[in-house]
Copies of this chain bind each other. A is one copy, B any other.
């Protein structure tokens, strides 16, 4: 049985962590569960079309209203709401005003999937 270091026994507060993120579209890891990561990210504006062929991706909105566009529709996700984008489905997040959200996905997933390009954020940065 693994012990937990008592000093790690502190809840992770989303607002406190978000205050320490100043850049947009740069996800920061706040916790891991098995081989999955929880990432906070602030976004505003348009992103690139991409998909994640190997995994579903979960969006939980903390502040603001996120729209995720699909090739044949869209979904709106507000505070206290979540949505799981199935693996392999092309999507494009959009935030008319700033959105703060929690992403959950396996360790190693890039924000742009396999689309690449200059919107690809550095992976595995913690806050």
Contacts and interface: CB of A to CB of B under 8 A. Distances in A.
Contacts of A74: 9
Contact of A70 (B4, B76, B84): B4
A116 interface: no
B2 A80 contact: no
A3 B80 CA distance: 26
Given A6-B73, A57-B33, A11 B81 contact: yes
Query: What is the copy number of this chain in the assembly?
Result: 2
A6 B72 contact: yes
Contact of A88 (B1, B73, B84): B1
A59 to B, nearest CB: 9
Nearest to A56: B33
Interface of A: 1-4, 6, 9-15, 30-34, 36, 38, 51, 53, 55-58, 60-62, 70, 72-78, 80-84, 86-90, 104-106
8 contacts: A2-B87, A3-B89, A11-B78, A11-B82, A12-B83, A14-B81, A15-B80, A31-B84
